Amino acid sequence: MENIVGYRIKSARKLKGLSLQNVADELGVSKQMVSKYENGVSIPPSSKLLSLSKLFDQKVDYFFRSFKIELGEVNFRKKSSFSAKKENSLKEQIKIKLENYLWIESVLGIDSSFNNIISNKTINSILDIEAVVLSLRNSWSIGVDPIYNIIQLLEDKEIKIIEIYDADDKFDGLATYIDNKYPVIVVNGNFPVERKRFTLLHELGHLLLQIPRCELAEEEKFCHRFASEFLLPRKMLINEFGGKRKHISFTELVSIQKKYGISIPAIIYRLVELGVLPKEYHKQFYKKINFNPSLKKTIYHSRFQTPEKSFRFKQLVYRALAQEDISMSKASSLLNKSIESIKENYALI
| Closest C-alpha to 206, from 65, 45, 76, 108 | 76
Beta strands 160-164; 173-178: pairing state: unpaired
Please tell me the distance from the alpha carbon of residue 330 to that of residue 61, in angstroms, as a whole number. 9
pLDDT tens readout for residues 27-77: 999 999 999 999 989 989 999 999 999 999 888 888 988 877 777 776 665
Mean pLDDT of 187-195: 93
pLDDT of residue 94: 85
pLDDT of residue 165: 86
Apex CA 57: angle with CA 310 and CA 164, to 5°? 25
- CB–CB of 284/243 below 8 Å? no
Q: Where are the domains of the chain?
A: 1-66, 126-299, 312-345
pLDDT tens readout for residues 248-287: 999 999 999 999 999 999 999 999 999 999 999 999 999 9
Residue 93 CB-density burial (10 A; 0-12 exposed, 13-18 middle, 19+ buried): buried
Percent of the chain with pLDDT over 70: 97
Cβ neighbors of 203 (< 8 A, separation 6 or more) are 173, 174, 175, 185, 186, 187, 223
pLDDT tens readout for residues 291-313: 999 999 999 999 999 889 888 99
- CB–CB of 65/4 below 8 Å? yes
Please tell me the distance from the alpha carbon of residue 176 to that of residue 115, in angstroms, as a whole number. 15
pTM of the model: 0.85
Please tell me the distance from the alpha carbon of residue 208 to that of residue 177, in angstroms, as a whole number. 11
pLDDT of residue 82: 64
Largest interatomic CA distance in the chain:
73
pLDDT tens readout for residues 212-256: 888 888 999 999 999 999 999 999 999 999 989 999 999 999 999
160-164, strands of its sheet edge to edge: 160-164, 182-188, 173-178
DSSP code at position 144: T
Mean pLDDT of 158-179: 86
DSSP code at position 61: G
**How confident is the prediction for the chain on average, in pLDDT?**
90
Does residue 335 surpass a pLDDT of 80? Answer: yes
Does residue 78 surpass a pLDDT of 60? Answer: no
pLDDT tens readout for residues 126-140: 999 999 999 999 999
**41 vs 166 pLDDT, higher one:** 41
pLDDT of residue 75: 64
Architecture of domain 1-66: Orthogonal Bundle (1.10)
What's the alpha-carbon Rg for the chain, to the nearest Å?
A: 23
pLDDT of residue 210: 92
Please tell me the distance from the alpha carbon of residue 112 to that of residue 183, in angstroms, as a whole number. 10
